[in-house]
Amino acid sequence: MRTLMIPTIALAIAVASAGCGPQAGSLQAANEALGTAQVNSIEFSGTGKWFQFGQAPAPNLPWPQFDVSSYTATIDYGAPAARVQMTRKQTIEAGRVRPAPIEQRPDQYVSGMTAWNLAPPAGAAANAAPVAQPQLAAVEERVMEIWTTPHGFLKAAAANNATSTPGEGGSEVTFTAGKNKYVGTINAQNEVTRVQTWIDNPVLGDTEVLFTYSDYKDFDGVRFPSRITRVQGEHPVLDLTITSAKANSGANITVPAEANAAPAPVTTTAEKLAEGVYYIKGGTHHSVAIDQKDHIVVVEGPQNEARSLAVIAKVKETIPNKPIKYLVNSHVHFDHSGGLRTYVDEGATIVTHADNKPYYEKAWAAPHTINPDKLAQSKKTATFETFTDKHVLTDGSRTIEIHKIAGGGHNDAFAMIYLPKEKILIEGDAFTPLAPNAPPPPSVNPFAVNLDENIARLKLDVKQIAALHGPRVTTLADLKAFITPRATN
């Protein structure tokens, strides 16, 4: 009997000891298993895929893919601060013509409430010294990326009075930090496997961001997932295989003086192109205002509400006492459609390719509570005029032609606008003119070649090109020079 009692007693002691420890799948168990209290900073590296959010080649397609040959994230949880260094090259999809892919190395930073990129100045040579470029609009998203890492999530949960609900084999943990709600899953192995949050986007409103973490391993004494995925706006934006991770190696992220520059005010200027036609310039994205008999047509509502409000104010100052009746949208890419909701609130009809309408209707029906815009407050219903190949707006005197850019690789629901009387072409992303005396790019951009082909196909007599990007109004001759094959040595 004695020999049988010894293992029985030992088993009872083991069971009792286990009962005294944290429940598997709980916050406490996850903190102990991942050593959260001892991890003050972390650096992890890997390779995989990155996808360009908001730049889908068609409204019903995923974000375009880039191959990531190196990815390193360094995070200081105390500051909080983070640096992401990534080398990526665009994947060319089968059957789609795109410019020759080049490697990009954008270094992205955040520290406290300051965000910046470290990159060569726009238009500079690839080997030019990088400079700090403030990124005020990126602060919230980059801070969110800190608190959605496994250790960051557990630290933020402890700091924000998280609630934990036991589930099958684990628990669901919920808390709110600032404007963001976070919901995470801890499995029976005490691993953070899923973190969900929401961020604001001018097109999509309250946009779900979903991280998944799997295949945890021991990396130099720290337990960390070897697979990370991120889905945003219903499509992947990141898929990484982690090859190394280390804790407490020192982040050393210092805010450069240039990153603390005050945000530039949203400014606009009105340049007269012809009688009643005005180039509304500002920053990196432009619009065009066209004066009709009893109303105004605006071409392009880019970026966000702040830009649209500034453009609307400049248009009304330039063309007083008339309503903006139409907003013509070139394509669905978020930098070209982020200000459309402001024009809906203004009462304008959105003129866009037929493929874009269902996308906008679905996107604009989503909640917009994190940063409510004017349309979220007024709750007005959008009205559309759509086309597939060609659409004409006229007041009986001036005609505005809207043509699909056919066969281009940039976007499948892509428009250019032509004023036949004034011989002005308005386009964005197909051709971005260079600054005077700037050297041409090393290779010909197929989007610009395709634009020239569409101009010829439609027999448009173009004298001026009002590009929606770039420093100046240009000409058809400039476009043709831009697409002339480069001499090679």
Query: Residue 378 in contact with residue 305, Cβ under 8 Å?
Result: no
In a domain, 15, yes or no: no
Residue where a domain terminates, one of 260, 280, 297: 260
In a domain, 487, yes or no: no
For residues 201 and 226, state if they share a domain. Answer: yes
For residues 241 and 273, state if they share a domain. Answer: no
In a domain, 66, yes or no: yes
For residues 68 and 126, state if they share a domain. Answer: yes
Distance (Å, whole) CA 272 – CA 278: 5
The predicted structure's pLDDT at residue 14: 35
For residues 241 and 290, state if they share a domain. Answer: no
In a domain, 152, yes or no: yes
**CATH number of the structural domain spanning residue 309:** 3.60.15.10
The predicted structure's pLDDT at residue 4: 32
In a domain, 4, yes or no: no
The predicted structure's pLDDT at residue 251: 81
For residues 337 and 466, state if they share a domain. Answer: yes
Estimate to the nearest angstrom the gap between the alpha carbon of 243 and the chain centroid: 26
The predicted structure's pLDDT at residue 122: 67
Residues in the chain: 489
For residues 189 and 149, state if they share a domain. Answer: yes
In a domain, 3, yes or no: no
Domain carrying residue 462: 269-482
> 283, exposed or middle or buried, with CB in 10 Å at 0-12, 13-18, 19+?
middle
The predicted structure's pLDDT at residue 167: 84
Element (H, E) at 12: helix 2-20
- From first to last of its 489 residues, the chain has per-residue pLDDT tens of 333 333 333 333 333 334 457 899 999 999 999 999 999 999 999 999 999 999 999 999 999 999 999 999 999 999 999 999 999 999 999 889 999 888 887 899 999 999 999 988 766 666 778 889 999 999 999 999 999 999 999 999 999 999 999 988 899 999 999 889 999 999 999 999 999 999 999 999 999 999 999 999 999 999 999 999 999 999 999 999 999 999 998 888 999 999 988 888 899 999 999 999 999 999 899 999 999 999 999 999 999 999 999 999 999 999 999 999 999 999 999 999 999 999 999 999 999 999 999 999 999 999 999 999 999 999 999 999 999 999 999 999 999 999 999 998 999 999 999 999 999 999 999 999 998 888 888 889 999 999 999 999 999 999 999 999 999 999 999 999 999 986 543
Residue 50 tokens, joined: 């990155």
The predicted structure's pLDDT at residue 126: 60
In a domain, 11, yes or no: no
For residues 228 and 301, state if they share a domain. Answer: no
Residue where a domain terminates, one of 234, 260, 286: 260
The predicted structure's pLDDT at residue 105: 78
For residues 375 and 275, state if they share a domain. Answer: yes
Residue 41 tokens, joined: 């900073």
For residues 149 and 192, state if they share a domain. Answer: yes
Distance (Å, whole) CA 129 – CA 134: 16
Beta carbons within 8 Å of 476's beta carbon, 6+ residues apart: 425, 455, 462, 463, 465
Helix (H, G, I), strand (E, B) or coil at 286: coil
- For residue 317, give Cα distances in angstroms to 268, 274, 312, 321, 327: 11, 17, 9, 9, 17
In a domain, 488, yes or no: no
For residues 219 and 280, state if they share a domain. Answer: no
Q: Which pairing describes strands 296-299 and 324-328: parallel, antiparallel, or unpaired? A: parallel
**CATH number of the structural domain spanning residue 185:** 2.50.20
For residues 203 and 290, state if they share a domain. Answer: no
Residue where a domain terminates, one of 260, 281, 304: 260
Estimate to the nearest angstrom the gap between the alpha carbon of 407 and the chain centroid: 25
State pTM to two decimals.
0.92
Query: Residue 391 in contact with residue 385, Cβ under 8 Å?
Result: yes
Distance (Å, whole) CA 68 – CA 213: 18
The total number of structural domains in the chain stands at: 2
For residues 303 and 360, state if they share a domain. Answer: yes
Query: Residue 465 in contact with residue 479, Cβ under 8 Å?
Result: yes
**Which ranges constitute the DSSP H helices of 180-234?**
none
